[in-house]
Amino acid sequence: MNARRAVAGAVMAALTLAGTAGRAADSDTYIARGKDCVAMGAFADGEKEFRKAVELGGDQPEALYGAGFCAFRQGKTKRAATDFEQVLKSTHSVPQYRGFHTLALLRLGEIKLSQRNFREAIDIYAGGVNNEASNADFRYGLGTALRGLGRNEKALNSFEEALKINPSHAGALVGKAAIYYDLGNVPEAFDLLERAIKLDPQSALPYGVMGALYRDLKKPYEENLMIGQYYFYSGDLKRAIGRFRAALVVNETSQVHHAIGSVLLKDGQAAESVRHFERALKLKVRPEDPALAQLSMAYAKMGKLTEAKSLIAKAIRQNGRSAEYHGQNAWILLLAKDSMGAEKEARAALKLDPENAGAYRYLGDSLNSRGLARDAVDAYEKCLARNPGLSDVYVNLGWAYEQLGDLVSAQRNYETFLRGGPPPDEAKSVKAHIDSLRKRSRK
């Protein structure tokens, strides 16, 4: 009888362990899906996936942090703060979760700063400095909070400590610049802002601060140009165009025409952007090759491939070391149905920059179009490893897997594409294709 009970107990224990392992595996799946959503900017879907992982258990700090981050990016600061606080409680004494503890602390500080709750932000960042004295982000956050309370001397010291740790910390450079400006050291302030822009040209922050300083100096051309850049890199394209047009009224320059053309191109107004790029080139914009490349892209989007090929070739002649130009040429050649030429240009781009995600994507497209599915899969996987946010690549990767007869992998990639929130027509088409794959799988 005792033996039977022992066997029964062992069976139940094994089943319990199997159930726990299954829940952990499911949790890992939801975490992976959440990460995919974050990479593609689908924060609402990402939050749902991470919260499912939290419900199942598994790696709680990672799932909780992911849910909080997604909530934060959606502006749900109260919910995000609750998640981050839970992460802190569950990680403060667990060395392997130190990274999540640090991230949660930094995000909590950001929330307090956004609420202008500077005193609580100081407490959070000061605690971070005590725990990780070599973390420049904590010192930058502390400096920002101190400046919010008008404690400029202590703030300046904190920014300088951050720069000792990381001389390339753009945020600390901007903070230091703002204080220098307040102290009347205008040349040094602008020098610091220009360094910040060179270090992180796509960050909106230094342009916004520089624009505010130009406003104080009553320089409307410079103010509008900088605020236009701020809106551009913040993603507010309509306001960026308005600011650049205001700058153009004050002073017509090649720089402003180039800037307006860039925004219009990004906004999908290729035909209108052409006029500004051509004007910028006529006014001798320097350097010339970026304007040539963007004008080439505008023509390509309009279907004028002969003009596009000629212009990108000229840009490459001026700057043959640009991997981006070779990658763009590969894209144009794909549009022109020249897959062999596209492959050559994609490989040239990768030779210059082996981490160029776009070049891997175009290499995959050129191989896929010629039925070289196995090689295409390898190229697409390398592309997505470097930039998971290129959501439409998942469709191409799914198609390559389908050509190899791997319908499970094909379906998985099509579903990942759908989680990125594509346009309704594309989503409908891909969903229909997934249904057809399921039917084929059942046969």
Cα 293–Cα 296–Cα 301 angle in degrees, nearest 5: 130
Which residues are CB-contacts of 198 (< 8 A; sequence separation ≥ 6)?
Answer: none
End-to-end Cα distance, the chain: 49
Token pair, residue 180, equals: 């220098």
Please tell me whether the peptide bond between 287 and the residue prior to it is cis, using omega within 30 degrees of 0. Answer: yes
CA distance 230 to 197: 11
Q: Tally Cβ neighbours within 10 Å of residue 281.
A: 18
Closest CA to 362 of 387, 343, 375, 381: 343
Residue 65, in any domain of the structure: no
Q: Residue 59 has what pLDDT?
A: 57
Our count of domains for the chain comes to 1
Domain residues for the domain of 399 are: 393-443
Asked whether residue 430 is domain-assigned, the answer is: yes
How many whole angstroms separate alpha carbon 227 and alpha carbon 233? 10
Report yes or no on 403 lying in a domain: yes
Rounded Cα distance between 355 and 88, Å, is: 35
Contact indicator for 243, 227 with CB cutoff of 8 Å: yes
Residue 406 domain-assigned? Answer: yes
Any domain includes 423: yes
Mean pLDDT by 10 residues, the chain (443 residues): 44 39 68 88 92 81 94 95 93 86 95 96 95 95 96 97 96 97 95 96 96 97 98 96 97 98 97 98 97 98 98 97 98 98 98 97 97 97 93 95 94 90 90 88 69
- Is 223 within the bounds of a domain? no
Looking at residue 21, its pLDDT comes to 45
Q: Tell which residue, 118, 108, 165, has the closest CA to residue 143.
A: 118
The answer to whether position 169 is within a domain reads no
User: What is the three-class DSSP state of 129?
Assistant: helix
Residue 425 lies in a domain: yes
Residue 12: partners with Cβ closer than 8 Å, 6 or more residues away:
none
Q: Using CA atoms, how far apart are residues 168 and 198, in angstroms rounded to an integer?
A: 10
**Cβ neighbours of 387 (radius 10 Å):** 15
Residue 437: both structure tokens together: 């794959």
DSSP letters spanning 207-267: HHHHHHHHHHTT-HHHHHHHHHHHHHHHT-HHHHHHHHHHHHHH---HHHHHHHHHHHHHT
pLDDT of residue 333: 98
